Every structure is written in C-alpha cells, then in structure tokens.
Amino acid sequence: VLTQSPATLSLSPGERATLSCRASEIVSTYLAWYQQKPGQAPRLLIFDASNRATGIPARFSGSGSGTEFTLTISSLEPEDFAVYYCQQSSNWPPITFGPGTRLDIK
C-alpha cells in the first residue's frame, strides 16, 4: 500500500514543492512518479525513484529508497499545478498507485 502526503499542497509559482510517498513495505528504489492534469492521461516523470523520464525538465527530481520517497519540484512553473501519483514496481503484478497529491496554485 502506498500513501501520499499531503493530500493537497497550495503553493505559488517559483516556490519549491516537496511531495511524499510512503510504502507499507520495502520497495527498494522501484518507484515512479506521474503527473496528471485535468482531462489528460498521466505522464511519467520519474522512474526507479530518482531517474527522470525522457523530456522531463530538470526542476523535477526524485529521491528515496526503501519505504520513503520524495518528489521535489525546485521552482514551480504555472504548468506544474496538477495531481501527482506515485507507483510501486517492486512486487508486481499487481501494480499499485498512491492516492495522489493535488498541487494547487495559492
């Protein structure tokens, strides 16, 4: 089971965002982060905890291992306000997602 915190994060453009994902059991570094905007499909941002997917800006970074993971957006751009999901790939199938963190404009 994956849990994400906070459920909602309200920040302003230019600020730093820190999103957390916690796994109920050790998943090593087998964790991804996705971004989803309203009416769109999810987009893969980070895989294997800390690797940016193709075309993802450097302001997105991931860290963590074991059960605690963090997605950091160093300086928020207007297009970054979205919902973010973590997904574990340690014991699959099944593939499991966290409940998401909504990043709102303050």
Nearer residue to other proteins within complex by CB, 15 or 68: 68
How far, CA to CA in Å, does 73 sit from each of 17, 21, 34, 95, 104? 5, 14, 13, 25, 13
Nearer residue to other proteins within complex by CB, 15 or 104: 104
Phi/psi for 84 (5° steps) reads -120, 130
47 contributes a contact to other proteins by CB under 8 A: yes
Span interacting with other proteins, options 15-23, 62-70, 72-80, 83-91, rule CB under 8 A? 83-91
Q: Of 60, 69, 81, 85, which one interacts with other proteins (CB under 8 A)? A: 85
Centroid of chain to Cα 68: 12
Instruction: Please report the sign of the dihedral spanned by the C-alpha atoms of residue 76, residue 77, residue 81, residue 83.
Output: negative
Nearer residue to other proteins within complex by CB, 5 or 75: 5
CA angle 95/100/102 to nearest 5° reads 155
Give residues in contact with other proteins (CB under 8 A): 30, 32, 34, 36, 40-44, 47-48, 51, 53-54, 85, 87, 89-90, 92-100
